[in-house]
Amino acid sequence: MYFLVRVLIHYCNMQEPARSTGRINGKSSSKVKKLKVKQQDELKLMVKGVTSIAQTDDNFICATLDWWPENKCDYNQCPWGKAGLLNLDLKNKILANAVKAFKPLRIRIGGSLQDQVYYKVGKYPKQCSNFEKKSDGLFGFGDGCLHMNRWDELNDLFNQTGAAITFSFNALLGRIPSDEHNTLWEGDWNQFNAKSLMKYTIEKGYKIDSYELGNELCGGGVAARIKPHQYGKDVKKLKRLVTHMYPNPADRPKILAPGGFYDEKWFQEFLLATGPGVVDGLTHHIYNLGAGVDPTLLDKLQNPFFLSQVAQTFKNVENDAKLFSPSSGPWVGEAGGAYNSGGKHTSHTFVNGFWYLDQLGMTSTFNHKVYCRQSLIGGNYGLLNTTSFMPNPDYYGALLWHKVMGKNVLSATHEGSPYIRTYAHCSKTSGITVLLINMDKSTTFDVSVVDDLNIHPVVYPKSVESIHQREEYHLTPKDGNIQSDVLLLNGTPLKLTSSLDIPEMNPKLVDPTFPISVAPQSIVFATLRGFQAPACA
Ligand SMILES: *[C@@H]1O[C@H](CO)[C@@H](O)[C@H](O)[C@H]1NC(C)=O
Ligand SMILES: *[C@@H]1O[C@H](CO)[C@@H](O)[C@H](O)[C@H]1NC(C)=O
């Protein structure tokens, strides 16, 4: 018995990055499976409280609403239901309560079909029609129409719930597809339909946080693309329009672009064309998990080596923003993880949090200001369930982040297993909050947070001593099933209240002299009030 355990531990140690799966020499052993080796590991987490390494916006969490109609289907399923901007039930109480809980939630209105949407206001360009399947249309659909009564209803909801809105404009209006080059669109952007919508919006007193131009038209594009010089010229035009329409700088919406996949050469040429000070948010999209039907999706979600691969993109966007337009900040303008509406059995479940919360942590360290999750509702990756509107585990993860993680990002490092990912921010209120994501299937990590008050070499790190109880939020899936839609907070399932409100999420209070115990396959936020961090003062 002792020998078997030794062998297993040895085996597990040899197994990185492919971990113990209960198989030895390729043969499955049921005896081994039943044994389930539990391990305990100590981890010292060094947090530097002296300086912050990056800063997010006050409202970092953002979610998208998309235009997809009910007949948007991928892989023999149609997971959007009635969750598109034109057919979503805006009177749903859970929806309103879910948005309200953030005070404010950023919402980005955009997506693939936005570059075929016309706004039925003023002198609109053609007959305004609803999206219909069209084999030669972009993404298989024809043009769509935003009627002003729908825009009023949407703004009613945004006003009631205090949401901060990004509206992303149709950037193809006025252009035509090039004859010679596949997918390239040429000509200047025609701003007049956007101007009419803006005028209407201002007259009605609807608040807009930011305007964006175009969706996934940069680099090689997805269904269509625009050259960087042309795009730069058009974003300057949008900036002039917004400056003209909103003469008071205090309530002038920010300008976001280009809202697509990162391509170094394209982004740099684009930023050279706009010049500094035009773009406020340099938006880019992330679908680093591959297709929604990828059979390895579940493995990728638990593989830290895979999840780290996208870090260079974040660093590049950060550098480009700094270099070419210092007043701008990088934003993830849309990120669904797995593309084509997400994974049917993963994207709405607990395990997706390994990707999502890790992304929030990682992009924060690369100075990203905002992270928009595709989607608030709709597809397999909604924060809310498409049909029942019930919050999925990532909804609660996002809300908890919003409540406890402040905008100043701290360095948090350790020399232990790569399967535990760690991040630290100044708390929203006082002290610091750490985020610990344990992707390991069998190891519990006992994490001691060490206060590194040195600027350069680590000499005498201080252990954290505090009179304050530590506030811990342990997130685990129901029945230990990482593909569950039900999230437990400190062992209790999170459920809507009887009035369909989002439940309170209270921490458990722990004696700070004990380490933070992070169970296998769990996610922990912990607030340390007594942590000395000059960067958070
Ligand atoms: C909601 O609308 C009212 C009336 O226009 C306005 O006074 C208020 O500031 C709006 N609230 C928000 C959060 O946008
Ligand atoms: C929505 O909830 C239903 C019923 O619990 C479930 O079968 C489905 O997978 C969920 N879908 C999403 C996208 O959350």
Q: Which ligand gives the minimal distance to the CA of 206? A: 1
Residue nearest to atom 2 of ligand 1 (CA): 159
Cα distance from N-terminal residue to C-terminal residue, the chain: 53
Q: For a pocket test of ligand 1, which of 159, 160, 209, 251 has the largest count of ligand atoms closer than 8 A to its C-beta? A: 159
- If asked whether residues 193 and 208 sit together in one domain, one would say yes
- If asked whether residues 225 and 364 sit together in one domain, one would say yes
Q: For a pocket test of ligand 2, which of 340, 387, 396, 487 has the largest count of ligand atoms closer than 8 A to its C-beta? A: 387
User: Beta partners for 299?
Assistant: none
Contact (CB, 8 A) for 299 and 290: no
Q: Which ligand gives the minimal distance to the CA of 164? A: 1
Q: Which residues line ligand 2 (CB under 6 A)?
A: 348, 380, 382, 385-388, 392
Residue nearest to atom 4 of ligand 1 (CA): 205
Whether residue 13 lies inside any domain: the answer is: no
Whether residue 31 lies inside any domain: the answer is: no
Ligand 2 center to 380 CA (angstroms)? 8
Whether residue 177 lies inside any domain: the answer is: yes
Is the pTM higher than 0.75? The answer reads yes
Ligand 2 center to 242 CA (angstroms)? 40
Ligand 1 in contact with 205 (CB < 6 A)? yes
* Burial classification of residue 514, based on how many CB atoms lie within 10 Å of its CB (0-12 exposed, 13-18 middle, 19 or more buried): exposed
Ligand 1 in contact with 203 (CB < 6 A)? no
Instruction: Please list the pLDDT of the chain residue by residue as tens digits (537 residues).
Output: 333 333 333 333 333 343 333 333 333 444 444 456 789 999 999 999 999 999 999 999 999 999 999 999 999 999 999 999 999 999 999 999 999 999 999 999 999 999 999 999 998 766 788 899 999 999 999 999 999 999 999 999 999 999 999 999 999 999 999 988 789 999 999 999 999 999 999 999 999 999 999 999 999 999 999 999 999 999 999 999 999 999 999 999 999 999 999 999 999 999 999 999 999 999 999 999 999 999 999 999 999 999 999 999 999 999 999 999 999 999 999 999 999 999 999 999 999 999 999 999 999 999 999 999 999 999 999 999 999 999 999 999 999 999 999 999 999 999 999 999 999 999 999 999 999 999 999 999 999 999 887 765 544 445 555 678 999 999 999 999 999 999 999 999 999 999 999 999 999 999 998 999 999 999 999 999 989 899 998
- If asked whether residues 454 and 356 sit together in one domain, one would say no
Q: Which ligand gives the minimal distance to the CA of 348? A: 2
Ligand 1 in contact with 150 (CB < 6 A)? no
Q: For a pocket test of ligand 2, which of 375, 396, 485, 487 has the largest count of ligand atoms closer than 8 A to its C-beta? A: 485
Ligand 2 center to 158 CA (angstroms)? 25
Ligand 1 in contact with 159 (CB < 6 A)? yes
Ligand 2 center to 523 CA (angstroms)? 22
Query: Which stretches within 75-212 are classed as H helix?
Result: 93-100, 148-161, 192-204
Last residue of a domain, one of 389, 406, 423: 406
Last residue of a domain, one of 373, 388, 406: 406
- If asked whether residues 204 and 269 sit together in one domain, one would say yes
391: which DSSP letter? Answer: B
Ligand 1 in contact with 100 (CB < 6 A)? no
Domain that holds residue 119: 56-406
- If asked whether residues 377 and 271 sit together in one domain, one would say yes
Domain containing residue 512: CATH number: 2.60.40.1180
Among residues 16, 264, 318, 334, which one is catalytic? 334
Looking from the CA of residue 207, the nearest atom of ligand 1 is 14
- If asked whether residues 220 and 119 sit together in one domain, one would say yes
Whether residue 15 lies inside any domain: the answer is: no
Give the residue from 139, 108, 69, 85 showing the smallest Cα distance to 284: 108
CA distance linking residue 277 with residue 145, whole number of Å: 32
203 among known catalytic residues: no
- If asked whether residues 415 and 385 sit together in one domain, one would say no
Q: For a pocket test of ligand 1, which of 157, 161, 201, 207 has the largest count of ligand atoms closer than 8 A to its C-beta? A: 207
Looking from the CA of residue 387, the nearest atom of ligand 2 is 1
What is the DSSP annotation of 330-377? Answer: EEEEEE-SEESS--TTTTTSTTHHHHHHHHHHHHHHTT--EEEES-SB
Ligand 1 center to 305 CA (angstroms)? 46
- If asked whether residues 115 and 197 sit together in one domain, one would say yes
Looking from the CA of residue 79, the nearest atom of ligand 2 is 13
Whether residue 131 lies inside any domain: the answer is: yes
Whether residue 139 lies inside any domain: the answer is: yes
Domain containing residue 317: CATH number: 3.20.20.80
429: which DSSP letter? Answer: S
- If asked whether residues 440 and 347 sit together in one domain, one would say no
- If asked whether residues 219 and 304 sit together in one domain, one would say yes
81: which DSSP letter? Answer: T
CA distance linking residue 32 with residue 69, whole number of Å: 49
334 among known catalytic residues: yes
Whether residue 330 lies inside any domain: the answer is: yes
Q: What domain count does the chain have?
A: 2
- If asked whether residues 240 and 102 sit together in one domain, one would say yes
Among residues 212, 216, 471, 472, which one is catalytic? 216
Last residue of a domain, one of 378, 406, 434: 406
Total Cβ atoms within 10 A of residue 79: 24
Whether residue 19 lies inside any domain: the answer is: no
Alpha-carbon separation of residue 526 from 58, 160, 493 (angstroms): 20, 32, 19
- If asked whether residues 365 and 423 sit together in one domain, one would say no
Dihedral angle computed from the Cα positions of residues 505, 511, 517 and 521, in that order, rounded to the nearest 10 degrees: 0
Count, in order, helices (H) and strands (E) of the chain: 12, 29
Q: Work out the widest C-alpha separation in the chain, in whole angstroms.
A: 81
CA distance linking residue 409 with residue 401, whole number of Å: 13
